[in-house]
Structure 1
Amino acid sequence: MGTNSRNEILNQMAGKSVMSGWGAITVFNRTRINRFLEQQYITRMQGYSFIPAFKGAVTLEGNASATVQLESIMLGKPLLSFADEASLDESYATVTMNMVSGTVLMMQPGERVARVATSLRIRESQGYQLKLRIKLSVVAGSINDQGLVIMDLKEGVDFTCDVLPDYLDQAAIGLAFKDYFESLPVYQRVFVLGMLDVSQYDPLAPKEFAILTQRAPGAEKIAASNYGDGGVVVFIRVAGDKEKGVLPSEGSGFPYLIPDDEEEGVSIYSAAIVVAEKWKRYVGDEQISKLSSLLYPGAEVFESKDTATPHDYVNFGNVNPASTQLAIEPSMVTLQAGKSETFKLLDAQGVPVTGVVWTAKSLNSRTLNAAGSISSSGVYTAADQEYIGHDTVRVVITGTVYQEDRVFTVSAGVSVFVDNMVVAPQLSSRIIEQNPKPIKLSVTSTSRSQLTWTLSQPDVGTLEFPTPNTAIYTPPTFEQAEFETVQIITAYDASTDQSASSTVLLFNDFLTSKVSPSYVRHMKRSASQLFEIADDTGEGTKHWSVISGEGEFKDPSVGEFTAPDTVTASVSIVKCDWIYQGLTRSFYSTVELDRFEDEPDWKDLNTFSIRVLDSRGSLTDAGYAYRNGLQQIKLAVVIETKKVGQDSIRPSAEELQTLRLLFSNGSVVDPLLPEQSGIIPGTSVSWATHTIANSVHLYPVSSASVSASLPVPLDEESTVRLEIYVHTTAPAKENSTFHMSFIGGALNKTWYSTELNESLGKVTLTPIEIPKIQENEFTFVRTEIDDGTRLVSADSSAPSQQHLARTVALEPEPEPGSEYDFKLRTIAYYEFNFLNRKIASFKFTTDQDSGGFARKSTVRWESRLQEETMFSYTGYAWNPALLEGIPEGEPKKNHLQFDPDLNLLVTKEGALTIPVARPAAVGGIIFSMHRTDDVRYGDAKEGEALIVRDALYDSIFANVMDEYGCWYLMEVSFPEEKVHDRENLAVRFL
Structure 2
Amino acid sequence: MQGRYTAPATLPARQGFQRVLIKAIDPVSEHESTAVLTVLTSSVSVSPLIQVCNYGERIALSARSSRATPLKWTVVDPVAGESGTLEDGVDAPHEKFYVAGAGGAGNTYVLDTITVSDDQHTQSIQVLVLRHSPMLFITLVSVNDQRAELKVVVNGHDLQVTWSLDGPGSIDATGVYSCDAEAPERYVVVFAEFEDDALGTMAGHLILPLPLSGSSGVVQALTGTAGGSAANAMPRSLSGIVQRAGAGTLTQGWGAVAAVSRSELNRHIEQQYIERYQDLAFLPLFTGDIVVDERQGDTVRLKQVELGVPVLSFLPDSPGSGSVLVTMNMVSGRYSGLHQPEGSATTVSGSSIISEPMGFRLAMTVDLFVGDEGHVLLDLAGGVDIACNLGGLDDVINLRLADFFAEEFKQIALHRRVFSVLQAQLNRYHVQTPASLRLVTRAAPRSSDARMDTTTGDGALVLFMGAQDGDAEGVFAPTDDFVYPIPDDRGEDGQPTYGTVLMLSQETQSMIERERLHVADCLKFTGGRVFEPLEQYRPHDLLLFGSLRSTQASITPLFSTLKAGQTQRFALHNPQGEEIPATSWSALSIKSHLAAGSGSISSSGVYTAPGLEAIGHDALRVVITATYEESGAVVKVSALVGVVSRSMELAPSVTVVPGGDALQPVSLAASTLDGSPVSWALLGTELGSLSTVDKGALFSPDARSGKRALAVQQIQALGNDRGIATVLIAKGQQTLRIEPAFVPRARPKVAVQLHDDSALLLGFERRWKVAGGLGTVDQQGLFMPPDQAFVASSVVSCEVLSKGVVMAYGYSVIELSEVIDEESWQEMSMFIVTVPGSSPPYGNTGNLYPNGYQQLRLQIKTQIRPHNNIEYELSPTERASMRLVDDESNQCIESVLSHLEGIPEGDGQTWRVRSQYNRFELSGAGVLAAESGLDASRTITQYFFLHSRAVSGFVKVFHAKFQDDNAKWWTSLMVEEINSKVEITPRHLPRFDARSYTFIPRRAHGDGGDPPVDPPSSGAPDFGVDVHFDYQFETTDYWTLTFINPETQQWVNFETLKFLPSKPDGDGINTSIILWESELEEEKMFSWTGFIFDDPAVIGDVSKVNFDEALQDVMGDVHTLDIDVKMSLFETGKLVISLHRLRGLKYIPVGDSRDKLMGEIVVLLLDKQGNAHKRRIGFLATGVGRRNRLMHTLYSV
Residue 266 of structure 1 aligns to a residue whose secondary structure is: coil
Q: Does the alignment pair 1:70 with 2:70?
A: no
Residue equivalent to 2:696? 470
After TM superposition, the structure 1 stretch with the greater mean CA deviation from structure 2, 153-162 or 217-226, is 217-226
Change in CA separation of 1:781 and 1:241 when aligned onto 2, cut-off 3 Å: closer
For the 8 Å contact 1:651–1:745, the answer to whether it is kept is no
The Cα shift of 1:210 comes to 2.6
The Cα shift of 1:202 comes to 4.8
How many residue pairs align between the two structures?
A: 936
Q: Does the alignment pair 1:932 with 2:1156?
A: no
Residue 638 of structure 1 aligns to a residue whose secondary structure is: strand
C-alpha distance after superposition, 1:528-553 (max 9, x if no partner): 33243799645664432325444433
Match 2:1131 to one of 910, 916, 921: 921
**Greater RCO structure (CA 8 Å; 6+ sep):** 1
Q: Quick one: which amino acid aligns to residue 173 of structure 1?
A: L
Change in CA separation of 1:386 and 1:633 when aligned onto 2, cut-off 3 Å: same
The Cα shift of 1:730 comes to 2.1
After TM superposition, the structure 1 stretch with the greater mean CA deviation from structure 2, 393-402 or 58-67, is 58-67
Matches within 5 A, 1:522-561: 522-525=744-747, 526=750, 528-532=752-756, 537-538=761-762, 541-554=765-778, 556=779, 558-561=780-783
Q: Does the alignment pair 1:861 with 2:1076?
A: yes
Q: Does the alignment pair 1:647 with 2:870?
A: yes
Q: Does the alignment pair 1:149 with 2:356?
A: no
Q: Does the alignment pair 1:53 with 2:285?
A: yes
Change in CA separation of 1:636 and 1:27 when aligned onto 2, cut-off 3 Å: same
For the 8 Å contact 2:952–2:985, the answer to whether it is kept is no
Residue equivalent to 1:637? 860
The Cα shift of 1:286 comes to 9.3
The Cα shift of 1:512 comes to 7.7
For the 8 Å contact 1:540–1:581, the answer to whether it is kept is no
After TM superposition, the structure 1 stretch with the greater mean CA deviation from structure 2, 33-42 or 303-312, is 303-312
- When normalised by structure 1's length, the TM-score is 0.84
What CA distance in whole angstroms lies between the structure 2 residues aligned with 1:772 and 1:666? 35
The Cα shift of 1:755 comes to 4.9
After TM superposition, the structure 1 stretch with the greater mean CA deviation from structure 2, 679-688 or 49-58, is 49-58
Q: Does the alignment pair 1:598 with 2:821?
A: yes
Change in CA separation of 1:74 and 1:950 when aligned onto 2, cut-off 3 Å: closer
C-alpha distance after superposition, 1:279-321 (max 9, x if no partner): 3312469986557645446732222223334433333222333
What CA distance in whole angstroms lies between the structure 2 residues aligned with 1:618 and 1:363? 36
For the 8 Å contact 1:861–1:869, the answer to whether it is kept is yes
Between the two proteins, what is the percent identity of the paired residues?
26
Residue 1156 of structure 2 aligns to a residue whose secondary structure is: helix
C-alpha distance after superposition, 1:264-293 (max 9, x if no partner): 222121122233443331246998655764
The Cα shift of 1:632 comes to 1.3
Match 1:902 to one of 1091, 1106, 1111: 1111
The Cα shift of 1:724 comes to 1.0
Residue equivalent to 2:650? 423
What CA distance in whole angstroms lies between the structure 1 residues aligned with 2:402 and 2:363? 8
Residue equivalent to 2:1053? 838
Residue equivalent to 2:530? 301
Q: Does the alignment pair 1:36 with 2:264?
A: no
For the 8 Å contact 2:287–2:967, the answer to whether it is kept is no
For the 8 Å contact 2:258–2:503, the answer to whether it is kept is yes
Residue equivalent to 1:628? 851
Residue equivalent to 1:791? none
The Cα shift of 1:208 comes to 3.1
Q: Quick one: which amino acid aligns to residue 267 of structure 1?
A: P
For the 8 Å contact 1:514–1:533, the answer to whether it is kept is yes
Match 2:742 to one of 503, 507, 520: 520
Change in CA separation of 1:765 and 1:594 when aligned onto 2, cut-off 3 Å: farther
After TM superposition, the structure 1 stretch with the greater mean CA deviation from structure 2, 225-234 or 539-548, is 539-548
Q: Does the alignment pair 1:724 with 2:941?
A: no
Q: Does the alignment pair 1:235 with 2:464?
A: yes
Residue equivalent to 1:957? 1162
The Cα shift of 1:434 comes to 9.4
For the 8 Å contact 1:490–1:502, the answer to whether it is kept is yes
For the 8 Å contact 2:377–2:418, the answer to whether it is kept is no
For the 8 Å contact 1:642–1:718, the answer to whether it is kept is no
Whose radius of gyration is greater, 1 or 2?
2
The Cα shift of 1:474 comes to 4.7
Q: Does the alignment pair 1:281 with 2:520?
A: no
The Cα shift of 1:482 comes to 10
Residue equivalent to 2:961? 741
For the 8 Å contact 1:364–1:393, the answer to whether it is kept is yes
For the 8 Å contact 2:791–2:817, the answer to whether it is kept is no
For the 8 Å contact 2:726–2:793, the answer to whether it is kept is yes
What CA distance in whole angstroms lies between the structure 1 residues aligned with 2:1137 and 2:641? 53
Residue equivalent to 2:35? none
Residue equivalent to 1:195? 423
What CA distance in whole angstroms lies between the structure 1 residues aligned with 2:598 and 2:386? 37
Q: Does the alignment pair 1:100 with 2:331?
A: yes
What CA distance in whole angstroms lies between the structure 1 residues aligned with 2:823 and 2:339? 33
The Cα shift of 1:447 comes to 5.8
CA RMSD between the two structures: 4.0
Change in CA separation of 1:297 and 1:651 when aligned onto 2, cut-off 3 Å: closer
Residue 903 of structure 1 aligns to a residue whose secondary structure is: helix
What CA distance in whole angstroms lies between the structure 1 residues aligned with 2:495 and 2:482? 25
Residue equivalent to 1:712? none
What CA distance in whole angstroms lies between the structure 2 residues aligned with 1:491 and 1:462? 15
What CA distance in whole angstroms lies between the structure 1 residues aligned with 2:641 and 2:982? 36
Residue 951 of structure 2 aligns to a residue whose secondary structure is: coil
Q: Quick one: which amino acid aligns to residue 364 of structure 1?
A: K
Residue 656 of structure 1 aligns to a residue whose secondary structure is: helix
Q: Quick one: which amino acid aligns to residue 748 of structure 1?
A: K
After TM superposition, the structure 1 stretch with the greater mean CA deviation from structure 2, 748-757 or 837-846, is 748-757
What CA distance in whole angstroms lies between the structure 2 residues aligned with 1:110 and 1:983? 89
C-alpha distance after superposition, 1:858-902 (max 9, x if no partner): 22322221111122222333433x14xxx68xx715333322122
What CA distance in whole angstroms lies between the structure 1 residues aligned with 2:504 and 2:868? 69
For the 8 Å contact 1:201–1:854, the answer to whether it is kept is no
What CA distance in whole angstroms lies between the structure 1 residues aligned with 2:971 and 2:736? 42
What CA distance in whole angstroms lies between the structure 1 residues aligned with 2:460 and 2:381? 19
What CA distance in whole angstroms lies between the structure 2 residues aligned with 1:386 and 1:443? 25
The Cα shift of 1:25 comes to 2.4
The Cα shift of 1:217 comes to 0.3
After TM superposition, the structure 1 stretch with the greater mean CA deviation from structure 2, 117-126 or 405-414, is 405-414
Residue 613 of structure 2 aligns to a residue whose secondary structure is: helix
For the 8 Å contact 1:608–1:761, the answer to whether it is kept is no
Change in CA separation of 1:733 and 1:428 when aligned onto 2, cut-off 3 Å: closer
Residue equivalent to 1:852? 1067
Q: Does the alignment pair 1:266 with 2:495?
A: yes
After TM superposition, the structure 1 stretch with the greater mean CA deviation from structure 2, 195-204 or 839-848, is 195-204
Match 2:907 to one of 683, 686, 691: 683
Change in CA separation of 1:457 and 1:340 when aligned onto 2, cut-off 3 Å: same
Q: Quick one: which amino acid aligns to residue 491 of structure 2?
A: E
Residue equivalent to 1:800? none
Residue 1127 of structure 2 aligns to a residue whose secondary structure is: coil
Residue 271 of structure 2 aligns to a residue whose secondary structure is: helix
Residue 35 of structure 1 aligns to a residue whose secondary structure is: helix
Q: Quick one: which amino acid aligns to residue 119 of structure 1?
A: S
What CA distance in whole angstroms lies between the structure 2 residues aligned with 1:869 and 1:533? 106
Q: Quick one: which amino acid aligns to residue 1060 of structure 2?
A: T
Residue equivalent to 1:131? 363
The Cα shift of 1:214 comes to 1.0
The Cα shift of 1:222 comes to 12
What CA distance in whole angstroms lies between the structure 1 residues aligned with 2:777 and 2:803? 24
Matches within 5 A, 1:801-820: 807=1010, 810=1013, 812=1015, 815-817=1022-1024
Q: Does the alignment pair 1:879 with 2:1094?
A: yes
Residue 879 of structure 1 aligns to a residue whose secondary structure is: coil
Residue 386 of structure 1 aligns to a residue whose secondary structure is: helix
The Cα shift of 1:921 comes to 2.8
The Cα shift of 1:817 comes to 4.6
Residue 175 of structure 1 aligns to a residue whose secondary structure is: helix
Match 1:13 to one of 245, 260, 284: 245
C-alpha distance after superposition, 1:45-79 (max 9, x if no partner): 33343332223343448998754333322211111
Residue 695 of structure 1 aligns to a residue whose secondary structure is: coil
Q: Does the alignment pair 1:769 with 2:989?
A: yes
What CA distance in whole angstroms lies between the structure 1 residues aligned with 2:899 and 2:792? 43
What CA distance in whole angstroms lies between the structure 1 residues aligned with 2:613 and 2:799? 37
Matches within 5 A, 1:426-441: 426-429=653-656, 438-441=665-668
